[in-house]
Amino acid sequence: MKRLSLIAIAILFCAGCGIIGNGEAASLGAEGRESAQPAAGGGKYVTVYTARHYAADTALFEAFTKKTGIRVVEVKGTAQELVDAMAREGEQSDADLFFTVDGGVLSEATRSGVLQPLRSDLVDANVPQALRDPEHYWVGVTTRARVIVYAKDRVKPEELSTYESLTDERWRGRVLVRSSSNLYNQSLLASFIALRGEEWAGRWAEGVAANLARPPEGGDREQAMAVAAGIGDAAIMNTYYVGQLSASDNPEEARATEGLGVFFPDQKAGGTHINISGIGLARHAKHAADALKLVEYMTSEEGQTQLSRESFEFPVNERAEVPELLKSWGSFKGQRIDFADLGSYNKQALDLFRRAGWS
């Protein structure tokens, strides 16, 4: 049977939480799209179109199912693929919720007309106003900080200060970072454009590109491992990857983090760059009430504590328990920025990366 290559579907059940039909895919719908409706089992369910492909999310959905009896269907793809699918499917869409990383992406989904306001006094109490869309089209579920991870045996914390300091000549051949095609780097540079202007952001990109220890390759995990291996001395990366490596079943990855330090840049300036993962209610949600229950659970103290414990992201609910590793890094000041700006300046960021020779 024909299947869409851009979307993989995993259907989760309640107690026991096995995968239906021994990996059976949903059937092709009448319009040539793949239906996300469960093939068996009956009962209540919520369909989440998600660009987050994390085991921690699946575990959270399973906990929700066990608590409420409402099953969760995950439809996975890239954010753009999922937004395009929701727009194309219109009223026939199976999507109840859209879950993704990056504030700019959430703002773009809002502008695309695939979301509707998500209103809940409980969600508003769970999530600070700064991490919610002013018009209620999306709400933050986790935050992540893009920091400097350094080799403890080769770099002293007092040598570190700002993102800009990584452009100094003394860092020549010592900096590691992933490709400019990565959304995390694009949003980081977009935040600099918003806060300091295009000229400053362009100089920063050029300075970092000139100081790279190697051409960008791999993801954030690979940057951390490269620091541990001595390929470079400092990497620009998201904090939660350090946490995930520390809890890895691979002994080499777990040991590597013992020699890594985490530094939050710009504490005396604009603050460390943070971004969010967020969720919105689909415009044509067929199970809106149950979808709202899921969001309320995801942002609750219980849900946030579990998600942070398993993903090593920062919880948005201030009452949630934070993993000891995250506590050990200390508190930090984050950027104050409108997350919509991350999408607004994305094209400019890509152009600056190109001009800087940051591949």
pLDDT bracket for residue 269 (50, 70, 90)? confident
Are 288 and 96 in contact, with CB atoms under 8 Å apart? yes
pLDDT exceeds cutoff 60 at 13: no
Mean pLDDT over 102-118 rounds to 96
Are 324 and 70 in contact, with CB atoms under 8 Å apart? no
pLDDT exceeds cutoff 80 at 38: no
Are 82 and 34 in contact, with CB atoms under 8 Å apart? no
pLDDT exceeds cutoff 60 at 24: no
The predicted pLDDT at position 40 comes to: 45
Are 126 and 232 in contact, with CB atoms under 8 Å apart? no
Q: What is the pLDDT of residues 322-342, one digit of tens each?
A: 999 999 999 999 999 999 889
Mean pLDDT over 342-357 rounds to 96
Q: How far apart are CA 281 and CA 270, in angstroms?
A: 32
Strands 8-12, 45-50: pairing is unpaired
The predicted pLDDT at position 129 comes to: 95
The predicted pLDDT at position 340 comes to: 86
Q: Domain 8-142+275-323, what architecture? A: 3-Layer(aba) Sandwich (3.40)
CA atoms 323, 15, 121, 134: torsion sign: positive
Say how many CA atoms lie within 13 Å of 319 toward its Cβ. Answer: 8
**Residue 206, Cβ density class (10 Å: 0-12 exposed, 13-18 middle, ≥19 buried):** middle
**What's 28's DSSP letter?**
B
* Beta-carbon contacts of residue 260 (< 8 Å; ≥ 6 apart): 149, 150, 151, 152, 224, 227, 228, 242
The predicted pLDDT at position 156 comes to: 95
Q: How far apart are CA 212 and CA 190, in angstroms?
A: 20
Are 191 and 337 in contact, with CB atoms under 8 Å apart? yes
Q: Where are the domains of the chain?
A: 8-142+275-323, 144-273+329-356
CA angle 335, 205, 163 (to 5 degrees): 40
208 token code pair: 């970092």
Q: How far apart are CA 215 and CA 87, in angstroms?
A: 37
Give Cα separations from 352 to 188, 290, 338 (angstroms): 12, 44, 21
Strands 175-176, 97-101: pairing is unpaired
- Side chain identity, residue 232: G
Q: How far apart are CA 244 and CA 249, in angstroms?
A: 10
Residue 114 phi, psi dihedral angles, 5° rounding: -95, 0
Q: What is the pLDDT of residues 60-90, one digit of tens each?
A: 999 999 999 999 999 999 999 999 999 999 9
Task: Give the three-class secondary structure for 259.
Answer: helix
pLDDT bracket for residue 152 (50, 70, 90)? very high
Q: What is the pLDDT of residues 214-267, one digit of tens each?
A: 999 999 999 999 999 999 999 999 999 999 999 999 999 999 999 999 999 999
- Side chain identity, residue 343: G
Q: Which of 5-14, 145-154, 284-293 has the lowest mean pLDDT?
A: 5-14
Options 3.40.50.720, 3.40.50.620, 3.40.50.300, 3.40.190.10; CATH for 144-273+329-356 is 3.40.190.10
Residue-level length of the chain: 359
Q: How far apart are CA 234 and CA 287, in angstroms?
A: 47
* Beta-carbon contacts of residue 138 (< 8 Å; ≥ 6 apart): 106, 109, 110, 115, 118, 132, 278, 279, 280
Are 270 and 27 in contact, with CB atoms under 8 Å apart? no
The predicted pLDDT at position 26 comes to: 33
Q: Calculate the average pLDDT of the chain.
A: 90
Residue 149 phi, psi dihedral angles, 5° rounding: -100, 130
Q: How far apart are CA 346 and CA 341, in angstroms?
A: 8
Mean pLDDT over 190-207 rounds to 97
C-alpha closest to that of 11 among 56, 54, 60, 61: 61
Q: What is the pLDDT of residues 282-335, one digit of tens each?
A: 999 999 999 999 999 999 999 999 999 999 999 999 999 999 999 999 999 999
Do 8-142+275-323 and 144-273+329-356 have matching folds? yes
Q: How far apart are CA 248 and CA 69, in angstroms?
A: 31
Higher model confidence: residue 16 or residue 199? 199
